Chain A
Amino acid sequence: MNSSVMAIILALCEAVRRGTPLLLGTTGEILNEKSGSLNLGVEGTMAVGAITGALLGLSTSNMFLALLGAFVGGMFCGLIYAFLTITLKANQNVTGLAITIFGGGLCMFVGETLKSTGKFPSYTTEFFAEITGGGIPLLKDIPYIGQLLFSYNALVYIAIVIALIVWIYITKTKSGLRMRAAGENPAAADSVGINVDAERYKNIVIGSGIMGLGGVYMALFINNGLWNTDWINGYGWIAVALVIFSNWSSARAIWGSYVFGLLLALKSRMPSLASAFPSVLSWSTAIPTEVFDALPFIVTMLVLIISSMRKNKNTGCPTGLGLNYFREER
């Protein structure tokens, strides 16, 4: 009994751990999309955030600098995206894909180069302790619940707080209203004096910074700061789909990303779950691991299909999504 409960709790913990980068990516993408930009560069933005954050963090052994580096790295990508799509009115889809290719390549290039020359920074022991440890003191010692709720590193909680702040910002504040107006109907927003370009710039850059945080999470907490040729491994794309799943609400994105986190966690947690519940889950051992690898993507497709079949009238999808705004073309 005890071990089976532990197996479930560990699986859920893993789900939260793996859901967090998704949550950060989704939150960032929501900021992008709500202001009218369909940024497909999440994967690349996360990759750049991962490499800048991880390098800065590992070489200084400072978590704050790691997060800052990741945020700035993400903002850099956001700035490129915003400049190309807003100022230069480039196609949003292609620009996003360009960010993905560039970001993935840059992360790979810098990482490979440093690794091959042996300059890739490695952990100091205290930094490793900071990464693997974490959790809220005292509370995390509560049996089961402490493990489930309070045992994570700070970024997990920061991600939730960011998601909630973004939700409040979008739905409750005046500036959030302005930003939504820029996304829903830029021409109308412009006519009432909202600076559409500035709104979009602002939200793209900040949103991309948040994606960058998701990237450094992938690098430091999922891959334990060890160089790996694909640090992001499709999480960015799942985040783009999660935006649809969560109906453009970052509050709903919280549990949405944990659901997908669970799907991602199944690969590593399924064996222990199967041994804890042999009667129910024994079949799972026969399943090749590739199925678990592909599962999040398959479920994402199902979500996309189902959400498109249900013609939801209360969709949070901004009407101006994906359209560049050129004042002379109103």
Chain B
Amino acid sequence: MTKTNKDPLIKISKRQNLALRYKLLLTVGAILLSLVLGGILLACLGYNPVKFYTEMLMGNFKNASYLKLMIRALIPLLITSLGVSLAFKMRFWNIGGEGQFIIGAIIAMTFSLLIGDSLPSPLGAIVVVILGTLGGGLYALFVAVLKVRFNTNETLMTLMLNYVALYIASYMLKTDFFALQGQGVPSFKVIAESLWLTEINIGKFSFDTALFIAVALTIILFVYFRQSKQGYELNVVGDSPNTAKYAGMKVNKIVLRTMFLSGAIIGMAGALKLCGSSAGHTFSANISGGVGWTSIIVAWLAKLNPVGILVASLLMSILERGCSFARTSLGISDAMSDVLQGIILFTVLASDFFINYKVSFRKKVKDAVTAQASGDAADDDKNASVTAVQIDDGIQTDSQTMTQSTDVVSDIPAGESTTDISASENPVEANQERPSADDNNVTEATANDPADETPQPVTEAAETKEEKEAVVENVAPEVVTDTVSSVEEKAATTKKTTAKKADNAAKTSRSKKSDDKKTSSPKSAKSPAKKAATDVKAAASKPSTKKTASSANKTKSTQTKKNGKGGNDNE
């Protein structure tokens, strides 16, 4: 800035709102890119990526039974992701999905074994699932309480609870209550048949009720986020807890409630899986199947939108099922799904950047004009410093011209002089008043029109600037308004002097001001004065137009600033 007039090579600025289709396009592009990257990795290890991806699709859509397996894998992931998204929406980093899932299943398992077959078929399952739900919720609530009371790091706490839950689960296998010890390897008991989820047939397929619960939950959460007061509160707390506090929301209560709901939904996923057919109606230490981790990716991929979560969890299930199919057919480790998920998350995070920010490169010198227009922000500072100098001049000349103008006033006929004084005192208003003063002269009124056009943007600019001052604590806008008025004052006073020179009535002098094109009636006496007036006007209008441009630019930046607080959380 100081040395040359060059803009930075790459300029990054906040973007307001990108159309949804571009967002989708970017996200889809990111996923495709990640698949390509995954393919490159496979190729590096000596596998044929094309074959891998075709196998992957085969593993999901080869026939109905594969499709069914995929949908079965989808259910717990979908529910868990919905639960995780609740907490994430509030910027509460619940990465304890794994633990809450396992705890939900553990509680459900415990009560299933306690209840046995004492309850009739649907009721028993309902009771067990509800208890598992409560278990998951309480497990999460514990962290939320600590967060609210002591501001304990929730990310690490939920994570540590994952390991605790995992070790509880692996201990359970050693107990007589949960497992059949017997000979050889102990195995978990299978829960009573009356507690199994009912299977519902749709054509060739049969699914347990968990699928319908999952879909219903998606819709409920969609409505919850969009329509309910609680969903709105969630968003506010997530964007800015202080705003929520000032708005009178009970932030602590919201955090506790949401975290409980989040854990409860995840716990329910665990309980449903336990009672469902996909886990064989029994418990295992790896019952979660890593959904706690995958759900984080799903939730972020879907931008925490329930419908998006449905799509994203479908994608992830296809990925996981496909990878485990490829493992058997091609002998490629199914950890590839983790790698792909990681890469997808990377590319999607990267695509978020292009959604939230605009990247513009420096234009070539050829289109210097447009470059200058676009690079206004950089120029602004310079303008400010230049106008700052002008101000000083302006103030001095003001005081001088003020005294001059009072002298002038005495010479000028009364009717005009008053308006002129007001003009020198308050130029912005004067611009508006002048036409009304000239109303009596029709020719002048018409002649005034072009003249009025130039001052008007100035007043507008001044107004917007005033607004801006309220928003931004920036020196530059103040400077600009001052200079605008000072320049205007100068213009007014010089006009007056030209009026004096012309020796005509003030009428003609005023017509001179506006006579850019039309008025050409008085010639000889006016020509030098006219020139001076137009010069002044040019001087006055030039910076003012420049300023309107810059001020528009600035208002834009303030808007982004305002929105930025909310918007930057989208990252």
Contacts and interface: CB of A to CB of B under 8 A. Distances in A.
B150 A308 contact: yes
Interface string A289-316: 0110110011011001100110000000
Interface stretch (B161-169, B504-512, B522-530): B161-169
Contact of A101 (B146, B174, B297): B297
Interface string B313-352: 0000000000000000001110111111111011001101
B357 A304 contact: no
B164 A294 contact: yes
Contact of B336 (A93, A95, A97, A105): A105
B475 to A, nearest CB: 15
Contacts of B352: 88, 90
B571 interface: yes
A91 B571 contact: yes
Given A105-B337, A308-B146, A88 B160 contact: no
Nearest to B565: A329
Given A102-B339, A301-B160, A304-B156, A116 B333 contact: yes
Given A98-B297, A294-B164, A329-B564, A301 B157 contact: yes
A284 to B, nearest CB: 16
A215 B354 CA distance: 34
Interface in A54-106: 80, 84, 87-91, 93-95, 97-99, 101-106
Contact of A98 (B342, B357, B571): B342
A199 B352 CA distance: 24
Q: Which range contains the number of A residues in contact with the other chain?
A: 35 or more
B300 interface: yes
Contact of A109 (B93, B174, B333): B333
B325 to A, nearest CB: 16
Interface string B144-163: 00100011110111011101
Interface stretch (A141-149, A236-244, A249-257, A275-283): A236-244
B338 A297 contact: no
Contacts of B338: 101-102, 104-106, 108-109
Interface string A99-127: 10111111011101100110000000000
B376 to A, nearest CB: 14
Interface in B21-54: 45
Contacts of B560: 328
A160 interface: no
Contacts, number: 150
Contacts of B336: 105, 109
Interface in B546-571: 557, 560-561, 564, 568, 571
Contact of B345 (A40, A102, A116): A102
A157 interface: no
B315 to A, nearest CB: 15
A137 interface: no
B345 A94 contact: yes
A89 B151 CA distance: 25
B450 to A, nearest CB: 39
B168 to A, nearest CB: 7
A113 B333 contact: yes
B353 A304 contact: no
Interface centre among A102, A106, A109, A293 (most CB of B within 10 A): A109
B353 A237 contact: no
Interface string A192-235: 00000000000000000000000000000000000000000010
B13 interface: yes
B45 A110 contact: yes
Interface centre among A94, A305, A324 (most CB of B within 10 A): A94
B296 interface: yes
A102 B342 contact: yes
Contacts of A84: 346, 349-350
Contact of B333 (A94, A108, A305, A308): A108
Contacts of A298: 160, 164
A326 B171 CA distance: 48
B164 A98 contact: no
A233 to B, nearest CB: 9
B544 to A, nearest CB: 26
Contacts of A91: 349, 571
A237 B162 CA distance: 11
A323 to B, nearest CB: 10
Nearest to A310: B150
Contacts of A293: 163, 167, 170
Contacts of B300: 94
A101 B342 contact: yes
Interface centre among B45, B340, B345, B560 (most CB of A within 10 A): B345
A309 B153 CA distance: 11
B160 A113 contact: no
Interface of A: 40, 44, 80, 84, 87-91, 93-95, 97-99, 101-106, 108-110, 112-113, 116-117, 234, 237, 240-241, 244, 288, 290-291, 293-294, 297-298, 300-301, 304-305, 308-309, 324, 326, 328-329
Query: Nearest 7 A-B pairs (CB), nearest first?
Result: A102-B342, A105-B338, A112-B333, A108-B335, A88-B353, A109-B335, A98-B345
